[in-house]
Chain A
Amino acid sequence: MIRALYTGTTGMRVQQHKMDYIGNNIANVSTIGYKRSTPNFKETLYDIMENRPAEAGAAPLVGNGVRVASVRTYFTQGSLTQTNNSLDMALEGPGFFAIDIGEDQATYIRSGNFKLSRLDNGDARLDNWEGYPVLNEYGQPFYFEAQTQEDDILVNQDGTVYSRDQYGAYTYEGRLGIYNFQDPDTLQRVRGSYFIATEDSGPPLQAVGTRVLQRWLEQSNVDMSQEMTDLIMAQRVYQLNSRVVQAADEMEKQANSLRG
């Protein structure tokens, strides 16, 4: 069979993958802390175009199409917006908040829309918006006295957390665990937007120079104009590759009808 039929199919397939990623990015254009990702393509193997006798010299090579080789997540800073909620926090600089979502190991997330949850014993705990505890630099949750309100909590840019009692005095409660990884591209996604460390990503490291901004949220870093341009491109390339498949089919048909 004609090789172009399969080559064209690989072209269509990778553009379909690209489209999936674009769709996911666009769907998350207003997700707090979302990081856009996009696939990288590579050529597949080359092999000999046709067999020919040795004296004819080296046979020319022909490629077999394209494949998705890797996915790049852009861990670049999203834009920051101010909110009125004292438990909205944004990271400025690289790094993640540590959250305990009940997996074997700590998970990491970029979005910092937190809240206070009331425990059965009346105490309060700092949770993320899904109700999982936010961890401090020693991997422990933050617990507060029963009367602590959201506005009583003060977070400094270095991640240190203080609570205010009814007399207006501040108590040190610990420091937010903010971690970074040598190779964040190899972090594994779990339950949607959480990450866990892998062997390739290296162990979590205390993020240096990353600031915590209270009453701010980090928006998604998806750029609509970029996504739309990519979408148009992906669609056109998909179309063109389908033309190749059509042409290959047409030619096969002609070969088939040689003895019409």
Chain B
Amino acid sequence: MLRGLYTAATGMIHQRNKLNTIANNMSNTNTRGYKKDDVVSQSFRDELLYRMGGQAGTSPRRIGPLNHGVYADRVITYFQDGPLQQTNLATDVALQGNGFFTILRDGQEYYTRDGTFKVNNEGILVTMEGHQVVGQYGPIEVGQADFEIDSQGNVWQWGNFINRLQLVNFEDPTLLEKIGDNLFANNNPGANPIIDFEGQVLQGYAEGSNVELVEEMTDLIVVQRSYEANQRILQMMDSTLEKAVNQVGSV
């Protein structure tokens, strides 16, 4: 009986965690290059229940397996492409297919799908916050003049090749860690090596968030109702306990 109380509570906690993730997805519906998260649930390990006691000499009777509720096992990021929006700005770049831009922040390489760039006062291609966009041959220097980026990520100016965007992909992108600011970090390069980018680069486009509002809304309803159901069960057990404590045995 008391066991059930805790099981229902794990359900409530789990639904609350799911709501937090849904809330983060929804607030990032308009964030460029955002990739939606989803919580994967996992039940606690099964236990085998036996009935003990009874007459001396009888062996305990097996009742069956039981588990103690649910928890968030991990968060999966979905890397499907977001919708493309035409902006006609030469410094807006979008990727199609799996892969990332490489950004240098505080001397560390990070990865992003948000290709909202600009040219800084030294003529170098940077993010809107001023972090360098990494090219295969160092910083991408375009100066004040127009430049073109082709579908392979090569940067051209006046018909000359000047650099190539460092575009990467990973063996298992789900191992990347989100660190905020639309950036991903690869904390374990040994276990998750960089592989070639095989998608396409589009200049003058921005990739929107891949959050699907209908899906999130449905999830929201499910979460809210499951939370409610768990709450009811908790209350029910509480009232049963109350009867056991206060009424059984009273004459």
Contacts and interface: CB of A to CB of B under 8 A. Distances in A.
Contacts of A254: 227-228, 231
Nearest to A11: B27
Nearest to B39: A60
Interface in B152-208: 177-182
Given A42-B180, A182-B123, A240-B29, A258 B235 contact: yes
B239 to A, nearest CB: 10
A7 B20 contact: yes
Contacts of A44: 180
Contacts, number: 176
A58 B235 CA distance: 33
Contacts of A185: 118, 128
Interface stretch (A68-76, A100-108, A116-124, A129-137): A68-76
A243 B177 CA distance: 28
Contact of A61 (B16, B19, B122, B178): B178
A66 B23 CA distance: 10
A46 B178 contact: yes
Contacts of B227: 251, 254
A250 interface: yes
B98 interface: no
Interface stretch (B49-57, B102-110, B215-223, B243-251): B215-223
B66 interface: no
Interface string B209-240: 00001001100100110011001001100100
B234 A41 contact: no
B220 A243 contact: yes
B148 interface: no
A10 B89 CA distance: 28
Interface residues of B, number: 58
Interface in A218-260: 233-234, 236-237, 240-241, 243-244, 247-248, 250-251, 254-255, 257-260
B105 to A, nearest CB: 12
A13 to B, nearest CB: 9
B140 to A, nearest CB: 14
Interface of B: 12-13, 15-17, 19-24, 26-32, 34, 37, 39, 71-75, 88-89, 114, 116, 118-123, 128-130, 144, 177-182, 213, 216-217, 220, 223-224, 227-228, 231, 234-235, 238
Interface of A: 2-4, 7-8, 10-11, 14-15, 18, 40-46, 49-50, 52, 58, 60-66, 69-70, 72, 74, 76, 180-183, 185-186, 199-202, 205, 208, 233-234, 236-237, 240-241, 243-244, 247-248, 250-251, 254-255, 257-260
7 shortest interchain CB distances as A-B pairs: A11-B27, A202-B121, A63-B24, A4-B23, A70-B128, A7-B23, A60-B75
